Amino acid sequence: MTKFSSPESSAFRNHGREIPRGLESSRSEPHVSLPRVSGPSKKRNRWLELIALYKLLQAALLVSIGVGALKLLHKDVADVLTNIAKGLRMNPEGRLVGFLLERASLIDDHRLHQISFFLFGYAALGLIEGIGLILEKVWAEYFTAFITASFLPIEIFELMHRITWFRVGLLVVNLAVLAYLVGHLIRRRTAMARQARLT
């Protein structure tokens, strides 16, 4: 005679081990993991990255010039420039070289320290601007726009004193950087104000 036991009091066997009914059902059901749905990735601003690269390259150039200025300490700058001119097969008595040698004779160790300090400080500003723009920080956009605008009068004054292609190119690039940053900040504030009205 077969003996039946009630489902509530019986235990199911699995591989020779007694497992309660509730635990058996939980083990037998397959575990399905749902895929994680992530939000849309933020699109990076390529123009800000380009400006950041320009600022970082500018900082690297200023640091190299500042290091070069420190290496001229306790040396005759005019003699160093004369040797460089001869190495480049330039006429030391030429007009350009003569002008540079005349200016170099006025540079002493104290002036070299001042030049290197200014270059390192300006390079530090460029480094802060570049890193902040790469990270897309709002404060970096305002900071870069302010620094760029503050040096424009000096660049314009130097251009009025003597026109060179380098100075013209530098002024054009900095004007373009300033124009983009100002427009970008205005568009950001407009979008934020529109969103605030909608909420």
21 in any annotated domain: no
124 in any annotated domain: yes
For 145-179, what is each residue's pLDDT tens digit? 999 999 999 899 988 888 889 889 999 999 999 99
184 in any annotated domain: yes
In single-letter form, the type of residue at position 104 comes to A
8: helix, strand or coil: coil
- The pLDDT score that the predictor gives to residue 122 is 92
What average pLDDT does range 38-55 have in this prediction? 81
The total number of residues written for the chain in this structure: 199
156 in any annotated domain: yes
> Are 153 and 175 within 8 A, CB to CB?
no
**Position 187 pLDDT exceeds 60:** yes
In single-letter form, the type of residue at position 160 comes to M
83 in any annotated domain: no
**What tokens appear for 63 in the block?**
């640091």
**Position 60 pLDDT exceeds 50:** yes
Q: Is 8 exposed, middle or buried (0-12, 13-18, 19+ CB in 10 A)?
A: exposed
Domain count, the chain: 1
15 in any annotated domain: no
178 in any annotated domain: yes
172 in any annotated domain: yes
Question: pLDDT band for position 96 (50/70/90)?
Answer: low
Show the domain range for 115: 46-72+107-198
